Amino acid sequence: MSEEKKVEGQSLTRRKRRISLAWLIPVLAAVVTAALLYKNTLERGPEIEITIASAAGIEAGKTLVKMRSVTVGRVETVRLDRNFSKAVLTVRMEPGTEPLLSEDSRFWLVKPRVESAGISGLDTLLSGSYLQISKGSSEKRATSFEALDEPPALLSDAHGLTLNFYSTSRKRLSPGDPVVYRGFSVGSVLSAKLNVEDGTVLYSVFIADPYVKLLNATTRFWITSGIDFSLTTEGLEVSAESVDSILRGGMAFDNLEGEFADRPLKTDTEIELFGSYAEAAADAVRSGLLYVVLIDGDLYNIRQGAGIYFNSVKVGEVIEAPWFGSYRELFENTSALPVLIGLNIQDESRAVVEKIIADRAASGTLCASLASANIISGNNRINLSFAEKSGQCPVTSYRGHFAFMATAPVSIDDRLNAISESLAQIDLSGISSDLRSSLQAFTGAMEAFTRSNDEIERLQLLPRMTTAFTNFTTMLTSYDKHSEFYGKMEGTLNEIRSVLNDLKPALMQLGQKPQSLIFGAEPNEVIPKAQGE
């Protein structure tokens, strides 16, 4: 009996052995795995779907979603939609990105692009294409989005003013083209759409803060097409707004009537977008003092933008040439061609100038004549002047405006030829050899000027002709003003002085800016006078 109990005691002792630690390792691994899975599930970001026209450059598991160069998501799967017309991307966003998923948030694919607005997306050449997100302003959340075909011209967090324009110009702007103010980029074109009803082009344009303060009722907008070369009434003009506009064109604006900040721009209507600066400037002049100049028979080189001068100072521009109420007038009455001009006077002296012109018109002492802005382009500007005798320049009315008849132009060459004929009839016997030599030097320079067809040579002859005449008149002062020779020369001398006075602006430009004689002076440029003039 004792032996059996002993045996049973031994067997009981063997059955009470401890569990091995080896079994704890897989249990702990399972617990840790479960905890990680649970934590990962809780901290996963939201899942969204993005429909895109083409999945070119997009790879599942690799293509990222970024905002301000920070990764905020990753594309997990790429598939086709039910109609096999677009690609559908399943995107896993990063945790905490829920506020980015407003219903008006925008997505677009960033990749290398070469467009009219420039080259973009070069950083993706090495890193690959990625999706860019721009946060919307709506408080409503969404899980499905439609990707944009093109990057937006304006980000949602930009501050400024959006304006609407219409244009009848054949020039076209594209979304992303810059808006420039005096060479500074201050905005961009958002959209362009053709109105099939009337053929106009409608634009939406954004002006950024703080440049909105530059806009007022005097602001004019026009299209810039890179570098503009134009042969105007003032000569050859070359203009460009900025480096951006040189490369791809764009839109420019300025306050062409003056700085009237107290007159706000009407932003609730469509604004006219002009095809060029000349058109915008002509429209601005319409707000000035308007008059009509009647040109007999031939417009010569008078056209839109031609300068209006008073005492060699530019005071306005030609707005329309010709300016018929109806082209029927052109065939019924060919005696005079009406030209609408505007004097760009906007300051407090406007009323005073308007009264002076009205008084001069009533007395017939306000005269208009055609002249040349440079030697190459003849009769391409209008000069206004006051006559001494009453009734010398009669005035009429045309379409509700004072109308002044422009005197028939006489070319410089014709006037110099007439002077040469007058000098040839004067008997030079009895005068000193020095006086005769100085007169021959002047006539030689004058005849060389009229014979030459080379504009550069004519420019070089101007100072020579003026100097020779000055020497001659200086020596002539020693002669008796009551002598027969002086009496014969007096009328011719006055005509020579008149011609040289007309050539005086060209001589001054030759000293200040020689190129302006050929290319024309800059708009609104004032040529400084020499001391004592």
Query: What's the pLDDT tens digit per position in 290-321?
Result: 999 998 877 777 888 888 998 878 888 898 88
The region, left, alpha or beta by phi > 0 then psi within -120 to 50, assigned to residue 385 is beta
The per-residue pLDDT for 427 is: 73
- Return the pLDDT at 529: 41
Cβ-proximal residues to 53 (8 Å cutoff; 6+ apart), any chain = 86, 87, 147, 149
Question: pTM for this one?
Answer: 0.55
pLDDT of residue 15: 55
Strands 64-67 and 130-134: parallel
The two tokens of residue 418 are 């007439």
Instruction: Please list the ranges in the chain whose pLDDT falls under 50.
Output: 1-2, 9, 12, 114, 116-117, 120-122, 231-236, 376, 514-533
pLDDT at 474: 81
- Amino acid letter, 26: P
Position 409 scores a pLDDT of 63
In the numeric block, the tokens 């450059």 are attached to: 57
DSSP 199: -
Q: Are strands 47-52 and 113-115 parallel, antiparallel or unpaired?
A: unpaired
Tokens describing residue 490 = 């007096």
* Predicted pLDDT at 88: 95
- Are 93 and 48 spatial neighbours (Cβ–Cβ below 8 Å)? yes
Burial (CB < 10 A; 0-12, 13-18, 19+), residue 3, is exposed
Angle of CA points 332, 337, 339, to nearest 5° = 135
Helices (H) and strands (E) in the chain, counts: 12, 26
Per-residue burial over 31-44, b = 16 or more CB atoms within 10 Å of its CB, e = otherwise: eeeeeeeeeeeeee
Tokens of 146: 């439609």
- Contacts of 189-198 with CB under 8 Å at 24 or more apart are 189/153, 189/250, 189/251, 190/153, 190/154, 190/162, 191/153, 195/166
What is the predicted pLDDT for the residue at 461?
A: 77
pLDDT at position 531: 41
| ∠ CA 14-20-24, rounded to 5° | 150
What pLDDT was estimated at residue 336?
84
Residue indicated by tokens 């980029």: 185
pLDDT over 70 for what percent of the chain?
Answer: 75
pLDDT of residue 532: 41
